[in-house]
Amino acid sequence: MTRPKQYKKQYKKQGEAQWNCLVGMDAHSEQATLCITQWEHGSDPVVRKQLEVELGKLEEAYRRHVPAGALTVLEASTNAFAIAGRLEAMGQRAAVVCSDTLRCFTRGDKVTDRLDARHLAKAWARGSAREVWVPDEESARMRELLFAYRDARKDAHAAGSRIWGFCNRLGLPEVQLDASLPARLAELTSAR
């Protein structure tokens, strides 16, 4: 018994809405590359669409191209946690994975954003992507504060080393690092 054409079209439309959507995202500071795939457990994802999106228009692109409840896999990077938060706020699911996830997929001569996005989806489907902890809002604020403190200490140490190097090259006497240092360095260099 064959099904009527009308039933086949209706069945196909119902089937289209039922597939699992897995999105691999290669995100950068201003844009992201999306690889939208159809995926069933136990198989490699099938690419349905690939597109590049400005991060300012990410929500609009998801509303137009990605079914609700899709899982997006993105690599841990500077803005990965913020992107994951934006996606979850609009009802999508997001998984941030270790930044070394792609090392087994990519070759040095074939590295593109499109391939990275596709490989992230594949890594998740094959179970080789390790998810990382995504900090809550309070933890994220504390992390930012600690990173800022760490970076300020590094910068201060580097600046102090440059000043000592400058003094040593000119044969200047040892100076103490405090607020009056610029004025004293000006005196010492003008005396020479």
Residue 24 has what pLDDT? Answer: 94
Which residue has 């792609």 as its token pair?
A: 102
Residue 14 pLDDT grade (very low, low, confident, very high; cuts 50, 70, 90): very low
**189 and 170 Cβ atoms separated by less than 8 Å:** yes
Residue 136 has what pLDDT? Answer: 86
Averaged pLDDT for residues 127-146: 87
Q: Rounded to two decimals, what is the model's pTM?
A: 0.66
Residue 1 has what pLDDT? Answer: 38
Mean pLDDT score across all residues of the chain: 81
**65 and 51 Cβ atoms separated by less than 8 Å:** yes
Which residue has 């240092």 as its token pair?
A: 181
Q: Which string of DSSP letters, residue by residue, matches 104-127?
A: GT-BTTB--HHHHHHHHHHHHHHT
